[in-house]
C-alpha cells in the first residue's frame, strides 16, 4: 500500500505533464463570412464540392473559459477519423466547407478543428457528436438574414461595428463577438461572428463580459460580397 502511494506521488508530476487539464466554461460557435476569407491576402479556393452558399459558414466550435483563456490540443491520441462522420458528410460540405487553397474535401480543416478544439470537449462529445452539435447550432441561426433585416448587406459597403452588434443582439437575442480581418487593400472587414453556447453545446447564451474579439475591427467595417 505504502509503495503504491509512493509511486503515485512520484508519478504525479509526470502524469500531469502528459495529461493536459482541459476544462472550459462555454463554447464559441465561430461563423465565417466566405467573402472576407476569399478577398484577404491568403486568397481562397472553392472546395471540391463547388462554390459554397453565400452565407455565414462554420469555422469551428471552440471550448473557451470565462476569463478569455482557452484549452487547445487536449488529446493527441484522439485524432480525426472521417469514417466517424460519414452520415454528416453532405451537411459538412454545405455548412463547414474549407475555403483554403488548394481545393480540398475539407478533411484537413475538420481534422485541425477536431484536434485543436474538439478534443478539449471530448468529455462531452465524441467526434461524431461534436461535429453534429456544431451543424445543429448553425442550423438554428441565420446571421445573414438577421443583418439584412437591419439593412446590413454584403454589398462592399461599410457599416458601423455598433450597428452590426446591435442587429445581432436584436435579431438573435444575445450578445456576440465580432472579429475582423483585412482585404488585400488593407480595408478592415467583417470576418467572423462568434456566438456563445452553453457548455452542453446545445443552447445559445449571452457571451461572457470578458469576451473581446472586436480588437481587430474598427468602428466602420466593410461587408464584402461573395
Query: So which residues are the catalytic ones?
Result: 59, 113, 117
Is 174 among the residues that bind ligand 5GP (CB under 6 A)?
Answer: no
Is 172 among the residues that bind ligand 5GP (CB under 6 A)?
Answer: no
For residue 121, the tally of other CB atoms under 10 A from its CB is 23
Residue 3 main-chain phi, psi, to 5 deg: -65, -40
Is 131 among the residues that bind ligand 5GP (CB under 6 A)?
Answer: no
Cis ω before 135 (30° cut-off from 0)? no
CA distances from 49 to 6, 84, 98 (A): 57, 20, 10
Is 35 among the residues that bind ligand 5GP (CB under 6 A)?
Answer: no
Please say which residue, 66 or 170, places its beta carbon nearer to ligand 5GP. Answer: 66
Is 37 among the residues that bind ligand 5GP (CB under 6 A)?
Answer: yes
Spatial contact of 117 and 61, defined as CB atoms under 8 Å apart? yes
Q: At its nearest, how many Å lie between ligand 5GP and the CB of residue 218?
A: 16
Spatial contact of 45 and 103, defined as CB atoms under 8 Å apart? yes
Q: Cell 467573402 appears where? A: 35
Is 99 among the residues that bind ligand 5GP (CB under 6 A)?
Answer: yes
Rounded to whole angstroms, the maximal C-alpha distance in the chain is 72
Among 31, 32, 135, 196, binds ligand 5GP (CB under 6 A): 32
Among 26, 33, 56, 62, binds ligand 5GP (CB under 6 A): 62
Is 59 among the residues that bind ligand 5GP (CB under 6 A)?
Answer: yes
Q: At its nearest, how many Å lie between ligand 5GP and the CB of residue 78?
A: 17
- Scan residues 105-124 and list those touching ligand 5GP (CB under 6 A): 109, 112, 116
Is 128 among the residues that bind ligand 5GP (CB under 6 A)?
Answer: no
Please say which residue, 43 or 140, places its beta carbon nearer to ligand 5GP. Answer: 43
DSSP 8-state class, residue 207: P
> With b meaning 16 or more CB within 10 Å and e meaning fewer, what string describes 166-176?
ebbeebbeebb
And the C-alpha cell for 169?
A: 443582439
Residues binding ligand 5GP (CB under 6 A): 28, 32, 37, 59-60, 62, 64, 70, 98-100, 109, 112, 116
Amino acid at each position: 500500500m505504502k509503495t503504491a502511494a509512493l509511486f503515485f506521488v512520484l508519478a504525479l508530476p509526470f502524469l500531469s505533464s502528459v495529461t493536459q487539464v482541459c476544462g472550459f466554461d462555454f463554447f464559441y460557435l465561430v461563423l465565417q463570412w466566405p467573402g472576407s476569407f476569399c478577398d484577404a491576402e491568403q486568397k481562397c479556393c472553392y472546395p471540391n464540392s463547388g462554390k459554397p452558399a453565400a452565407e455565414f459558414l462554420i469555422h469551428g466550435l471552440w471550448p473557451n473559459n470565462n476569463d478569455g483563456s482557452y484549452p487547445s490540443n487536449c488529446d493527441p491520441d484522439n485524432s480525426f477519423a472521417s469514417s466517424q462522420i460519414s452520415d454528416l458528410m453532405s451537411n459538412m460540405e454545405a455548412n463547414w466547407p474549407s475555403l483554403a487553397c488548394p481545393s480540398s474535401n475539407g478533411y484537413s480543416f475538420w481534422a485541425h478543428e477536431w484536434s485543436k478544439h474538439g478534443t478539449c470537449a471530448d468529455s462531452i462529445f465524441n467526434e461524431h457528436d461534436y461535429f453534429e452539435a456544431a451543424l445543429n447550432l448553425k442550423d438554428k441561426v441565420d446571421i445573414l438574414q438577421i443583418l439584412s433585416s437591419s439593412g446590413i448587406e454584403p454589398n462592399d459597403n461599410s457599416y458601423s461595428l455598433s450597428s452590426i452588434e446591435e442587429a445581432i443582439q436584436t435579431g438573435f437575442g444575445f450578445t456576440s463577438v465580432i472579429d475582423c480581418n483585412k482585404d488585400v487593400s488593407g480595408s478592415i472587414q467583417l470576418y467572423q461572428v462568434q456566438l456563445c453556447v452553453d457548455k452542453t453545446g446545445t443552447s445559445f447564451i449571452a457571451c461572457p463580459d470578458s469576451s473581446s474579439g472586436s480588437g481587430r475591427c474598427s468602428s466602420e467595417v466593410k461587408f464584402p460580397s461573395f
